[in-house]
Amino acid sequence: MSVELVSVRTTDGVRLDGSWQRPSSPGRSEFPVDVMLLHHGVAGNFYGPSPFDDFAPWLAKAGCAAIRVNNRGHDPVSQASLNGQRVKIGSAYEIIDDCRADWDAWIEFAQKCGYERIGIWGHSLGATKSIYHAATENDYRVQCVIAASPPRFSYSHYAGTENWGEVKDIGSKFKETYNIAKGHIDDGHPEQLIQVEYPVPLLVSAATYADKYGPGAQYDILKHIPVISMPLLSVIGTTEPLGEFPFLGLPEEMQKLAAEFDHFTFEYVEGANHFYTDHRAEVWELTSRWLQGLASCGQLPRGKAAWP
């Protein structure tokens, strides 16, 4: 297996880097996809520690190329050329809707490399973005999506939560934080960095906080999953829902959606945390089984002819 450093440039000019791990026997994928695009979570990057440390080589061993990629939310703070101007990017400044340009750039790269059957596998925020992209773009080149531990962004859900573990009146604390961010925006300082504690500890700009957690709930995965047309698998570790506020009650809602919609599969990973430490083999086993089952149940391949 060989690994090559690669890069793309989005339609608005942002350069993104990644690594391309090819199988030793190309063209013999065990799965109904030839390449998987692997998207990191908040403040991550393509080379940092993540579950993809294991999943990428396992994909390549199964004959499926793995491309670990950056999006403009990589690292806490970075810089990029955007429409000819130097701008701040990174998790502190990202607007989630911009991920559509990042995902499209990597899909285009994979297609130009000769891959016709493309899969997307996102982790954490990368999983939420992958669901959002699938719902809003419905790209016929993408055969399937895997979303590992996608957090939910829902103002009403957060604001309506009274207690979370030992934290009392957390809904009010969340609303106070949102109002602080909104105040900076109203004062003309959307790039003002604020250290927040709710829903998770994070250094983030006021604009980014309002974008993610505002009342519009633009990125709530529970409203996007039903409209996705491609096969979608989501996994969440059983130790995560009680340890992370954005996952509070989410697995139960995901189970309901999986029972209602044939294109969506949800799986618990017993004992696993957010990064699937010591449980990646179980994730790989259930993911491999799901991928291998797609072709047999007639859900693949997607293509221009089948694209609504």
* pLDDT recorded at residue 300: 62
**Same domain, yes or no, for 158 and 284?**
no
Q: Give me the number of domains the chain comprises.
A: 2
For residues 163 and 302, state if they share a domain: no
User: What confidence score (pLDDT) does residue 65 get?
Assistant: 97
Same domain, yes or no: 136 and 170: no
161 shares a domain with 16 = no
pTM for this predicted structure: 0.94
Cα Rg of the chain (Å, integer): 19
Same domain, 93 and 158: no
Q: How far apart are CA 18 and CA 71, in angstroms?
A: 9
pLDDT for position 295: 75
Same domain, 130 and 158: no
- Mean per-residue pLDDT pooled into runs of 10, the chain (308 residues): 91 95 85 97 96 98 97 94 85 97 98 96 98 97 98 95 81 95 98 94 96 97 98 94 75 97 97 96 98 77 50
Tokens (6 digits) for 226: 């039903």
CA–CA separation, 23 and 35 (whole Å): 10
Same domain, 174 and 300: no
Q: Do 141 and 254 belong to one domain? A: yes
Range of the domain at 43: 2-153+218-306
- 134 shares a domain with 185: no
